[in-house]
Chain A
Amino acid sequence: MKSKLKAARIACFTLGTALLLTALFLVIHNVNEDRQSGVQAKRILRTLKDEIPEYTEPAATMPAAEEYDLFAEYEEEPEQSQALETITLDGDVYIGYISIPEIGIELPVLADWSYPNLKIAPCRYVGGIDTDDLIICAHNYNTHFGRIGTLHTDSEIIFTEVTGQEHRYSVVNIEQLPGTAVEDIKFGNADDWDLTLFTCTLGGQSRVTVRAVRLEE
């Protein structure tokens, strides 16, 4: 009987230690991944900023009748979300970078989302700047969108295109939506926002969704 108790005791200690070590390993892995992603994003951002020209406002003068682009109206209409210009770095296509001063992040934004891309930087989920329906998703790393849930109404978000043009937004709403509520994330009160950011909650089942409207430029 005593030996049985001893065996059970050893098993409990062993299992408990193993579980704690696994939890510790997971924490270290996550923290390390977070840190590495942050470092990588910073490096990419530096290069991206070097590539982005200084933005100059286009001339407001109307072109002379003879200078109108006759072919323009016959160009194939790109999908609305395709109207963004891009820069390719190391094979990855970027549409610009996003800054959220309040939580101290500044990150490049990839043109298209995929799981490998999400490990590098925030990604465009759908939409575009010109159509005021851009949605950006990112991992909930602390160095990415992990703290967007702490933003509040009127927090400022700045998106800078690869042309150098800045677009300023003000947060109007923060909510948690189920991960399956894709339509809500994409279209929810679409008239009321111009930019949406989202990331997973720690549990991974919901999405912290931040809606922002464009500020007068």
Chain B
Amino acid sequence: MTTIQTAVPKPHRRYSSIAAKKKTFWLTTMALPGAVWLLLIRYLPMFGIVIAFKNYRAFRPNTFWNNIIQSEWVGLKNFEFLKSPDTGIMIRNTLGYNILWIILGLVISVAFAIMMSELTSRFLAKTYQTLMFFPYFLSWVVASYFVLAFLDPTSGMIPFFQKAAGLKATNFYHDTTWWPLILTICNLWKNLGYSSVLYLAAITGIDTTQYEAAAVDGATKWQQIWHVTLPGIRPMIVILLIMNVGKIFNADFGLFYNVPQNSGSLYPVTQVVDTYVYRAYANTHNMGMSSAAGFLQSFVGMICIIGANALVRKIDAESSLF
């Protein structure tokens, strides 16, 4: 950073201070469009959080700010939804699925990455990577049709097989039994390729002389993986863990909304915080309550990220995010 030293009245210093100001000005204009977007679309709604503490309704003139100002304070009344049994279920679902998927995702994708890095055929390794990454680029709307092709009550492959075998066809979109498994498969199907590739990139970054040194010391391949590969990708594992723990109260809306076809009878196993907030607003137009739920989600999420990061910094300062 150039400091402006007006105390030293040398001509070229004065010139450079003007140049510095000019530079600051032009660089600021570059950042401006993005900054305006951030202020309007990200920061302005943060003030909208007051809706969570008010009984928001329409007044005259019916503009947003006027409504906010005129609506009366209700304190924590909007947070009373926390007492309802539905809330317990949705929190259980959100945390349960997230924890299960963080563990499964970590173990399987690290295993896949190690396998891919050990293949002698580069071509096949590349092919697997390409195929595995493909689902990541599809939307949940498209994926929901893939699931429908297997589960559709009238023509879906599985119910049809059941009928052909003389069994009673499962009505998947009304029967909660299989959904924890189906959602888990969908999540892994979509995201494993992506996380495997991330870990693979980390593995390729490990200095190969470490493996040679280990081999010279008589380490078997399995020992090399344990003592060289896994420590080598530890920063990546830690970073992805923090990010996932920080998002532990967030769920993939599309997965929980589109894949089960928004089916009401599946709510006990598919309702998560994100769908709850959306449905609270879309179905009942309860702005106060849905804002309160959304605010809690954001707030707890922030604490989770900061907490996880602080923890990581204690264990291994270099791996922390900020």
Note whether A and B form a binding pair. Answer: no
Which A residues lie at the B interface, using CB under 8 A? none
Interface of B toward A, CB cutoff 8 Å:
none
